[in-house]
Structure 1
Amino acid sequence: MPQQIAMEEDDVTPEELQGNGWFSILKSRQESLAKSHAAHQSGTQRSATATPNATLRCVAAASRLPAMPRSHNRVIVRPGGGLNVQACSPHRILAALTVAAQLAPSVTEEDIICPNSMQNIFVVSTPSATNAAAYSQVTDIILTDQRHSVTAYLSPAGITSRGVIRGVYTDFDDAALNRMLIQPRNSSLLGARRIKNTGTVIMIFNGLKVPNYVYCGQVIYRCTLYKRQMDTCHTCGQVGHRQDVCPTPSTKVCDHCGHLPTDNPHVCNQPVCALCGEAHRTGERECRHRYSCLTWCAVVVSAVADESKPSSKHPPQHPARFLPRLPNRKDLL
């Protein structure tokens, strides 16, 4: 059976798959440095002529985490109150989490913590389900004699896919939704959660297949693939993290133009989106680039299924052969 490959939320170019070696990397780096030097000399700032894909690639690369054991349990820790992940020591963060979770240091020796300065979050990886459950219950930590509120939750490890259903009754909380959704008719469903107070529910499925329909109790809903949005902060106006984990909450940009007020009274300037370069606030609904990339699972699974069919003329090929011929990201949105 051919190996299944899934790429979620990353835009992979054919040049990256060809693997031309360090010479291509060095050439690209030299061209990038030359462009940065020219922009610095001319004193130009980000404008509508900037390439949006360059911003998306930079944010995606900086947000990518290193490979962690698939057998581990992952816990996402989102700090609040202006805690800057880049300015904190991961050792002190893990020690504070251990104390807040009431775990002995001897049982956390195999745990791993990875800070992500772009998203301003921490990721804890542990082989112990007990430790993961304890970490996910933490609501605040103490650093340098100061209490910081955090939001911690479990994240499924391994190969998973996400789907979305809409129009679900808003009086159902997450516990009730999971009781109604996790049933034999939805055999691959692992869990679900609601987006704030809306009728939209995000579901996580085991494997690469997202069903077209799911059962919520006795009601059947149409299920679509989840499209991940680029994280944007309406507090500081930066791209890469969300508003609830902003490291500089005191730096507030204008709600209308998205620029930092420099005069009193403030005169709004023309907004410039950091994702597409057009004249609107960063990450608004009309932005064409606010979705990073549609989940590639369905495309890759289709390619693997077609290639795995028995043929007398040609033997099965590796599924990676299909990756350079995948549709353009814009065609999927």
Structure 2
Amino acid sequence: MAQPLMQGLQVTAAGRDLGELHLRIQPTNNTFMVATCHERTTLHLVQLKELVLRKTSYPVATYRTPPPAAVRGFLSQAYWMGSTLSIFITFAHGPVPHTIHYISVVYRCTQYKGSPDACTNCRRAGYSYDVCPHPKSGLCSRCGDKHDRQDVPSCISSCILCGGQHLTGTGSCKSSGAGAGGMTSPDTELQALREEVKQLRAAFSTSTPTLPPVSLPQSFPTPSHQPPQKKGGLMRAQPNP
């Protein structure tokens, strides 16, 4: 399959020199990866909308992988950016900014760490199922044992990362990066913001503002509470007309 793909890329290039390419086919998810050292070739491959294989045209969707130094962040409560409340943004390099200014609105941006990859085929961490170098083992993706498919709902889940009784990387997984070490998912960040708003509302509703006492400087005269005394003097009476 690698040779027809390479020929299809050359045909789609329309005479352009793509240079040296390296293909890696993933039959599990029906995708393939193309590696190149030339930026011009990368920009051309990203714009591909179809691929010709043996005189048949197939629609394709391309995706450019981020550089090694790239970091990801997510925006919470991003109502004007789509139908979801959280938006993921990939930055070419770190650090992730604290705020993002978009359409006259300032959004809070939080670094996204994600969870480590784990393979449900060989039950090892570090890579996902679609790139597993081992043959298919037939192990259950939930518990890691071999049994019939009808017994899957009754088996006890076992996490590959921490060994807990839950699905891998979900729930209260200690190795998923969403525990006490920091908020790394949009749902956790949204819940933290809601709790912060509740605390602020409770503080404003129960507290009564008081003014601190004001002390006059020594140069100011001290006010007296005694009634003023009348000073002696002459009073001039005006005659009536």
TM-score (norm 2): 0.51
1:163 aligns with 2:73: yes
Q: Deviations over 1:71-129 (max 9, x none)?
A: xxxxxxxxxxxxxxxxx64x554433444xx20465112x4335387997524335243
Please give the alpha-carbon distance, in whole angstroms, between the structure 1 residues aligned to 2:149 and 2:72.
45
Higher helix content, 1 or 2:
1
Letter in 2 for 1:276: C
- Of structures 1 and 2, the one with the larger relative CO (CA 8 A, separation 6+) is 1
Distance (Å, rounded) in 2 between the aligned partners of 1:146 and 1:257: 43
- Find the partner of 2:84 among 185, 198, 214: 198
Contact between 1:259 and 1:271, CA under 8 Å: does it hold in 2?
no
Aligned match of 2:63? 153
Bigger Cα Rg = 2
Contact 2:70-2:94 at 8 Å conserved across structures: yes
Alignment partners' CA distance in 1, 2:67 and 2:81: 26
Cα deviation, residue 208, structure 1: 2.8
Q: Which residue identity does 2:100 align to in structure 1?
A: V
Partner of 2:42: 132
Within 1, Cα distance between the matches of 2:25 and 2:48?
A: 19
When residues 112 and 285 of structure 1 are mapped into structure 2, their CA distance, relative to the original with a 3 A threshold, is: farther
Alignment partners' CA distance in 2, 1:262 and 1:287? 27
In structure 2, relative to structure 1, the CA distance for the partners of 1:261 and 1:150 (3 Å cut) is farther
Cα distance in 1 for partners of 2:109, 2:47 equals 30
Of residues 1, 4, 7, the one that matches 1:95 is 7
Question: Secondary structure of the residue that 1:202 maps to in structure 2?
Answer: strand
Alignment match, 1:193: none
Q: Cα deviations across residues 8-60 of structure 1 (Å, max 9, x unaligned)?
A: xxxxxxxxxxxxxxxxxxxxxxxxxxxxxxxxxxxxxxxxxxxxxxxxxxxxx
Equivalent position of 2:207 in the other structure: none
Residue 172 in structure 1 maps to residue 97 in structure 2: no
TM-score when scaled to structure 1?
Answer: 0.39
- Tell me what 2:175 maps to: 289
Stretches of structure 1 lacking an aligned partner (at least 5 in a row): 1-87, 174-196, 295-329
Asked if 1:107 corresponds to 2:36, the answer is: no
Q: What is the root-mean-square deviation of aligned Cα atoms in Å?
A: 4.7
The DSSP-based 3-state class of the residue aligned with 1:132 is: helix
Partners of 2:147 and 2:57 in 1: CA distance: 30
1:60-79 matches, cutoff 5 A = none
Q: Which structure 2 residue ranges, 5 or more long, are not aligned?
A: 184-241
Distance 1:113 1:213 in 2: 39
SS in 2 for 1:95: helix
Label 1:287 to 1:144 Cα distance change in 2 as closer, same or farther (>3 A).
farther
CA spacing shift, 1:103–1:149, aligned 2, 3 Å: closer
Match of 2:33 in 1: 122
Q: Which among 275, 283, 300 is matched to residue 161 of structure 2?
A: 275
| Alignment check: 8 A CA contact 1:116 1:122 kept | yes
1:155 counterpart SS class: coil
Question: Which residue does the alignment assign to 2:237?
Answer: none
Matched, 1:241 2:128: yes
Shift of 1:133: 3.7
What letter is aligned with 1:115?
R
Q: What is the CA–CA distance in structure 2 between the aligned matches of 1:127 and 1:271, rounded to whole Å? A: 45
Identity of aligned residues (%): 22
Q: What is the rounded CA distance, in whole Å, between the counterparts of 1:284 and 1:260 in structure 2?
A: 22
Query: In 2 relative to 1, CA 146–271 (structure 1 residues): closer, same or farther, beyond 3 Å?
Result: farther
- 2: CA distance, partners of 1:331 / 1:162: 17
Give distance in 2, aligned partners of 1:287 and 1:98: 46
Aligned length: 176
Following superposition, the deviation at residue 271 of structure 1 comes to 1.4
